[in-house]
Amino acid sequence: MKKLALHWQILIGMLLGVIFGILYNQFNLDPVYVNNWIKPIGTIFISLLKLIAIPLIIASLIKGIADLGDISKFSQIGGRTIGIYIVTTLIAVTIGLVAVNIIQPGDGISEDTVAQLMQTYGQDANVKVNAATNQVKSGPLQFIVDMVPDNIFGAASSNRNMLQVIFFVVFFGISLLLIKPEQAKPLKDFFDSLNEVVLKMVDLIMLIAPVAVFALLASLIVGTTNTELFSALGKYAFAVVAGLLLMLCFYMIVLKMVTGISPGTFLKGISPAQLLAFSTSSSAATLPVTMERVEEHLGVQKEVASFVCPVGATINMDGTSLYQAVAAVFICQALSFELTFADQLTIVLTATLASIGSAAVPGAGMVMLVIVLESVGLPADKLAIGIALIFAVDRPLDMCRTVINISGDATVAMIVAKSVGKLGPPKVKNWDDNLEKTA
Ligand code: ASP
């Protein structure tokens, strides 16, 4: 019998997880069983994915740069990547602003609802506001200073330092290009082999993906309370999701125009990564799978994928910036805080920068939203109220925006690859070949 394709397996796992969670809540069963016996499977899966992120970046980026053969090609790829990332983020924020201004989700939120939300989520909101205050304390060049590590082992010891690791690896890869080929060969062969091993590890981890997403979604739903407040935020959630869907359409149109690849082919190739992004709410945890799909199933050559994807996971968050724009305007509408056209332009700028600064982990976008709200002058005493307002639906929206974050990275990888002649036919024709070979 033909094996069910991976994306269907993951989708079925997700659906079963949701149904299980809802039934569990319906029967008022004790969440402790789910926390003790089901949740750990999801946690282990996320840890496994994070575990191979740094080795994967090191092996594939060094191999990628070494294969390029000359540095000018690398600076071409680097320049285009950053340029296109900034443009797509600006477009995402603009789409968010258009959606929120048309839908006007903040109208009709009563003072009672605000009070109720504040009572329920006020404390959690304060935690986010404080986290944002700590981020702002650094100077304007801190971002660049932070990118240069003073110890590679220190940098590689935390996934949060992804940019530091990328900095070291690019530096290392360029130096490798500058020495004599016969001197470089042993190291190149070593990283070639390491790269193959790490990619095989991704395949092996993906074997448990369907069960793991079941565990992730089941434990998420069992842990969710206060669902009655969801309905008050329906229009706001609709504005975010509508904006995100428009952004996905935008990617597919641009891809068709630039690379000739049809939306169906793109979705078929990237969907396992999208489903994982949805289940984990973390672009960082999804990174190994995003890289593998882009390279093996969408035809982006390693030289491009190994640079564009990890950099994108850290700085390109189109879904997050779009959400920040919608959320900022929604909060101002609901709290009757007037926004001028200039304020909306400020949101474009700050949401773009805030999404670059957001970590690729669950809930990070909300912390940086505080900075966007401050930039339009929302008084300090209203910040926590604003964050409390959107807290109830933040996790589901986080899941959706993370899907767009990784889809944006994949799109840009394909566009950059096309522009430098590095987009070829996918290595894996039948997209589940890899797993079948592994299983
Ligand atoms: N969870 C998002 C990501 O990992 C970041 C965010 O918007 O909170 O891409």
Q: Domains in the chain and their CATH numbers?
A: 6-438 (1.10.3860.10)
Cα 186 to middle of ligand 1, angstroms? 39
Cα 313 to middle of ligand 1, angstroms? 9
Residue 64 has pLDDT above 80, yes or no: yes
Probe ligand 1: pick from 317, 323, 355, 404, max atoms within 8 Å of CB? 317
Task: Quickly state the pLDDT bin for 201 (edges 50, 70, 90).
Answer: very high
The pair of three-digit structure tokens given for residue 296, joined into one six-digit string: 């093996």
DSSP alpha helices (H): ranges in 233-282?
Answer: 234-259, 263-280
Q: Whose CA is nearest to atom 6 of ligand 1?
A: 365
Mean pLDDT, the chain, rounded, equals 89
The mean per-residue pLDDT over the stretch 189-207 comes to 91
d(CA 355, CA 344): 16
116 close to 133: Cβ distance less than 8 angstroms: no
CB-ligand 1 contact for 398 (6 Å cutoff): yes
Cα 272 to middle of ligand 1, angstroms? 17
> What is the per-residue pLDDT for 431?
44
- Which ligand 1 atom is nearest residue 360's CA? 4
The pair of three-digit structure tokens given for residue 265, joined into one six-digit string: 């082919």
- Which ligand 1 atom is nearest residue 406's CA? 9
Task: Quickly state the pLDDT bin for 391 (edges 50, 70, 90).
Answer: confident
Residue found by looking up tokens 């909306």 in the block: 344
Residue scoring higher pLDDT (426 or 292): 292
The mean per-residue pLDDT over the stretch 323-343 comes to 93
d(CA 432, CA 7): 9
Q: What are phi and psi of 48, to 5 degrees?
A: -60, -40
Amino acid identity of 165? V
CB-ligand 1 contact for 320 (6 Å cutoff): yes
Cα 241 to middle of ligand 1, angstroms? 15
d(CA 271, CA 269): 6
> What is the per-residue pLDDT for 260?
93
- The length of the chain is 439
Residue 138 has pLDDT above 80, yes or no: no
Q: What is the DSSP letter of 2?
A: P
Probe ligand 1: pick from 241, 352, 358, max atoms within 8 Å of CB? 358
387 close to 230: Cβ distance less than 8 angstroms: no
Q: Is 161 helix (H, G, I), strand (E, B) or coil?
A: helix
The pair of three-digit structure tokens given for residue 323, joined into one six-digit string: 């959400």
Residue 226 has pLDDT above 80, yes or no: no
Amino acid identity of 273? A
Probe ligand 1: pick from 281, 366, 368, 370, max atoms within 8 Å of CB? 281
Residue 363, phi-psi category: left (phi > 0), alpha (psi -120 to 50), beta (remainder): left
Give the DSSP H or E segment for 436.
Answer: helix 433-438
Residue 86 has pLDDT above 60, yes or no: yes
- Which ligand 1 atom is nearest residue 323's CA? 7
> What is the per-residue pLDDT for 28?
84
- Which ligand 1 atom is nearest residue 284's CA? 4
CB-ligand 1 contact for 282 (6 Å cutoff): yes
CB-ligand 1 contact for 283 (6 Å cutoff): yes
Pick from 340, 332, 336, 345: nearest CA to 390:
332
Q: What percent of the chain stands above pLDDT 90?
A: 59
The β-bridge partners of 423 are 300
Q: Is 39 helix (H, G, I), strand (E, B) or coil?
A: helix
d(CA 148, CA 182): 30
Q: Is 426 helix (H, G, I), strand (E, B) or coil?
A: coil
Cα 396 to middle of ligand 1, angstroms? 11
Residue 438 has pLDDT above 60, yes or no: no
CB-ligand 1 contact for 361 (6 Å cutoff): yes
- Which ligand 1 atom is nearest residue 355's CA? 7
Which residues are CB-contacts of 183 (< 8 A; sequence separation ≥ 6)?
none
CB-ligand 1 contact for 355 (6 Å cutoff): no
Instruction: Give tens-digit pLDDT for 377-386.
Output: 998 888 888 8
Residue scoring higher pLDDT (162 or 343): 343
CB-ligand 1 contact for 159 (6 Å cutoff): no
d(CA 245, CA 322): 11
Q: What's the half-sphere exposure (Cβ side, CA atoms, 13 Å) at 30?
A: 4
Q: Percent helix, strand, coil in the chain (nearest 5)?
A: 80, 0, 20
Amino acid identity of 322? L
174 close to 67: Cβ distance less than 8 angstroms: no
> What is the per-residue pLDDT for 439?
45
Q: Whose CA is nearest to atom 7 of ligand 1?
A: 365
Amino acid identity of 309? C
Q: What's the half-sphere exposure (Cβ side, CA atoms, 13 Å) at 295?
A: 25
Residue 347 has pLDDT above 60, yes or no: yes
pTM of the model: 0.88
The mean per-residue pLDDT over the stretch 230-248 comes to 91
- How far is the first Cα of the chain from the last one, in angstroms, to the nearest whole number? 15
Instruction: Give tens-digit pLDDT for 254-307.
Output: 999 999 999 999 999 999 999 999 999 999 999 999 999 999 999 999 889 999
Give the DSSP H or E segment for 129.
Answer: helix 111-136
d(CA 271, CA 250): 17
Residue scoring higher pLDDT (54 or 412): 412
